[in-house]
Amino acid sequence: MVSRWLLVDRIETLEPGEFARGFKSFSPEERFFADHFPGFPVVPGVLLLEALAQLAGKLIGYSVRLDRGDWPFPIITMMNGVKFRRFVRPDEQVQLEARLTALRDEMADVRVRAKVDGRVVTQADQIFVFNAVPLDDPRELLRLERIEFGYLKQLWPGCPDHPWVQGST
Protein backbone atom coordinates (compact mmCIF):
# COMPACT_ATOMS: atom_id res chain seq x y z
CA MET A 1 0.00 0.00 0.00
CA VAL A 2 1.47 3.34 -1.05
CA SER A 3 0.13 6.75 -0.15
CA ARG A 4 0.57 9.39 -2.82
CA TRP A 5 1.43 11.87 -0.09
CA LEU A 6 4.09 9.74 1.55
CA LEU A 7 7.04 12.13 1.56
CA VAL A 8 9.66 9.88 3.16
CA ASP A 9 11.49 7.47 0.86
CA ARG A 10 13.14 5.47 3.63
CA ILE A 11 14.00 5.52 7.32
CA GLU A 12 17.58 4.68 8.19
CA THR A 13 17.43 5.05 11.96
CA LEU A 14 14.60 5.01 14.47
CA GLU A 15 15.45 5.06 18.16
CA PRO A 16 12.12 4.90 20.04
CA GLY A 17 11.55 7.85 22.33
CA GLU A 18 14.59 9.66 20.94
CA PHE A 19 15.43 10.14 17.28
CA ALA A 20 14.71 9.21 13.67
CA ARG A 21 16.61 9.79 10.43
CA GLY A 22 15.17 9.32 6.97
CA PHE A 23 15.63 10.43 3.39
CA LYS A 24 13.63 11.94 0.55
CA SER A 25 14.52 12.86 -3.03
CA PHE A 26 12.10 14.78 -5.23
CA SER A 27 12.04 13.69 -8.87
CA PRO A 28 12.37 16.42 -11.51
CA GLU A 29 9.13 14.98 -12.94
CA GLU A 30 7.08 16.15 -9.93
CA ARG A 31 4.23 18.30 -11.28
CA PHE A 32 4.75 21.10 -8.77
CA PHE A 33 8.16 21.97 -10.27
CA ALA A 34 6.44 23.38 -13.38
CA ASP A 35 4.99 26.20 -11.25
CA HIS A 36 7.55 26.37 -8.45
CA PHE A 37 9.34 27.99 -10.21
CA PRO A 38 9.43 28.02 -14.04
CA GLY A 39 13.06 27.87 -15.12
CA PHE A 40 14.26 27.51 -11.51
CA PRO A 41 12.57 24.47 -9.94
CA VAL A 42 12.74 24.26 -6.14
CA VAL A 43 10.96 22.04 -3.61
CA PRO A 44 8.19 24.01 -1.85
CA GLY A 45 9.08 24.61 1.77
CA VAL A 46 5.72 23.30 2.90
CA LEU A 47 6.60 19.89 1.39
CA LEU A 48 9.88 19.81 3.31
CA LEU A 49 7.98 20.57 6.53
CA GLU A 50 5.43 17.86 5.70
CA ALA A 51 8.20 15.31 5.03
CA LEU A 52 9.71 16.18 8.41
CA ALA A 53 6.28 15.90 10.06
CA GLN A 54 5.75 12.47 8.51
CA LEU A 55 9.09 11.24 9.85
CA ALA A 56 8.30 12.74 13.27
CA GLY A 57 4.88 11.05 13.17
CA LYS A 58 6.47 7.64 12.64
CA LEU A 59 8.87 8.28 15.53
CA ILE A 60 6.01 9.34 17.81
CA GLY A 61 3.71 6.51 16.71
CA TYR A 62 6.26 3.75 17.18
CA SER A 63 7.54 5.20 20.47
CA VAL A 64 4.07 5.47 22.00
CA ARG A 65 3.09 1.99 20.72
CA LEU A 66 6.09 0.42 22.40
CA ASP A 67 5.58 2.41 25.60
CA ARG A 68 1.85 2.21 26.21
CA GLY A 69 0.44 -0.25 23.68
CA ASP A 70 -1.53 1.90 21.27
CA TRP A 71 -0.74 3.81 18.08
CA PRO A 72 -1.46 7.52 18.70
CA PHE A 73 -2.06 8.91 15.13
CA PRO A 74 -0.19 12.23 15.62
CA ILE A 75 -1.65 15.40 14.10
CA ILE A 76 0.57 18.44 13.66
CA THR A 77 -0.98 21.50 15.29
CA MET A 78 1.80 24.06 15.47
CA MET A 79 5.28 24.89 14.19
CA ASN A 80 7.68 27.25 15.87
CA GLY A 81 11.03 28.64 14.77
CA VAL A 82 10.58 27.63 11.14
CA LYS A 83 13.62 28.54 9.05
CA PHE A 84 14.41 27.94 5.42
CA ARG A 85 18.13 28.35 4.85
CA ARG A 86 18.49 27.48 1.15
CA PHE A 87 16.59 26.08 -1.81
CA VAL A 88 16.27 22.34 -2.38
CA ARG A 89 16.48 21.40 -6.04
CA PRO A 90 15.15 18.33 -7.89
CA ASP A 91 17.13 15.10 -7.36
CA GLU A 92 18.96 16.39 -4.28
CA GLN A 93 18.85 13.84 -1.49
CA VAL A 94 17.31 15.41 1.59
CA GLN A 95 18.27 13.92 4.94
CA LEU A 96 15.38 14.27 7.39
CA GLU A 97 15.93 14.26 11.16
CA ALA A 98 13.43 14.27 14.02
CA ARG A 99 14.33 14.43 17.72
CA LEU A 100 11.68 14.11 20.43
CA THR A 101 12.02 16.93 22.96
CA ALA A 102 8.79 16.19 24.86
CA LEU A 103 6.39 13.25 24.81
CA ARG A 104 3.28 13.37 26.98
CA ASP A 105 -0.01 11.49 27.13
CA GLU A 106 -1.64 13.34 24.24
CA MET A 107 1.06 15.57 22.72
CA ALA A 108 4.62 15.58 21.50
CA ASP A 109 7.18 18.25 20.68
CA VAL A 110 9.73 17.32 18.02
CA ARG A 111 12.74 19.30 16.81
CA VAL A 112 13.14 18.62 13.09
CA ARG A 113 15.66 19.56 10.44
CA ALA A 114 16.39 18.76 6.84
CA LYS A 115 19.89 18.68 5.37
CA VAL A 116 21.38 18.50 1.91
CA ASP A 117 25.07 17.61 1.62
CA GLY A 118 25.42 17.92 5.39
CA ARG A 119 24.10 21.49 5.52
CA VAL A 120 20.81 22.41 7.22
CA VAL A 121 18.24 23.66 4.69
CA THR A 122 15.09 23.68 6.87
CA GLN A 123 14.43 23.47 10.60
CA ALA A 124 11.51 23.84 13.00
CA ASP A 125 9.94 22.74 16.25
CA GLN A 126 6.77 20.79 15.46
CA ILE A 127 4.03 20.20 18.03
CA PHE A 128 1.66 17.27 17.62
CA VAL A 129 -1.50 16.19 19.41
CA PHE A 130 -2.96 12.73 19.18
CA ASN A 131 -6.12 10.81 19.93
CA ALA A 132 -8.13 13.93 19.19
CA VAL A 133 -10.94 11.88 17.62
CA PRO A 134 -11.61 8.59 19.42
CA LEU A 135 -12.72 5.63 17.33
CA ASP A 136 -15.66 3.68 18.71
CA ASP A 137 -14.89 0.44 16.88
CA PRO A 138 -11.72 -1.27 18.21
CA ARG A 139 -11.49 -3.28 14.98
CA GLU A 140 -11.19 -0.05 12.99
CA LEU A 141 -8.46 1.16 15.33
CA LEU A 142 -6.56 -2.11 14.87
CA ARG A 143 -6.98 -1.89 11.09
CA LEU A 144 -5.60 1.67 11.01
CA GLU A 145 -2.75 0.72 13.33
CA ARG A 146 -1.79 -2.15 11.01
CA ILE A 147 -1.78 0.24 8.04
CA GLU A 148 0.50 2.66 9.89
CA PHE A 149 2.83 -0.14 10.96
CA GLY A 150 2.83 -1.42 7.36
CA TYR A 151 4.02 2.00 6.16
CA LEU A 152 6.71 2.01 8.83
CA LYS A 153 7.96 -1.45 7.78
CA GLN A 154 8.10 -0.33 4.12
CA LEU A 155 10.20 2.68 5.04
CA TRP A 156 12.42 1.23 7.76
CA PRO A 157 14.22 -2.00 6.79
CA GLY A 158 15.44 -2.41 10.39
CA CYS A 159 11.93 -2.40 11.85
CA PRO A 160 11.45 -5.45 14.07
CA ASP A 161 8.37 -7.64 13.75
CA HIS A 162 5.81 -7.39 16.52
CA PRO A 163 3.06 -9.86 17.41
CA TRP A 164 0.51 -7.05 17.80
CA VAL A 165 0.53 -6.39 14.07
CA GLN A 166 0.15 -9.85 12.58
CA GLY A 167 -1.15 -9.49 9.08
CA SER A 168 0.17 -5.93 8.75
CA THR A 169 2.80 -6.59 6.12
Contacts 24+ apart (CB under 8 A), 155-159: 155/8, 155/9, 155/10, 155/11, 155/22, 155/58, 156/10, 156/11, 156/12, 156/14, 156/58, 157/10, 158/13, 158/14, 159/11, 159/14
Of the residues 19, 23, 36, 82, only one is catalytic, namely 36
**What pLDDT digit, counting tens, does each position of 137-157 carry?**
878 878 888 888 888 999 999
**What pLDDT digit, counting tens, does each position of 13-48 carry?**
999 999 999 999 999 999 999 999 999 999 999 999
Q: Which domains does the chain have, with CATH numbers?
A: 10-155 (3.10.129.10)
Confidence at residue 144, expressed as pLDDT on a 0 to 100 scale: 84
Residue 22 in contact with residue 9, Cβ under 8 Å? yes
**What pLDDT digit, counting tens, does each position of 88-105 carry?**
999 999 999 999 999 999
Q: Is the pTM of this model over 0.75?
A: yes
Is-catalytic flag, 36?
yes
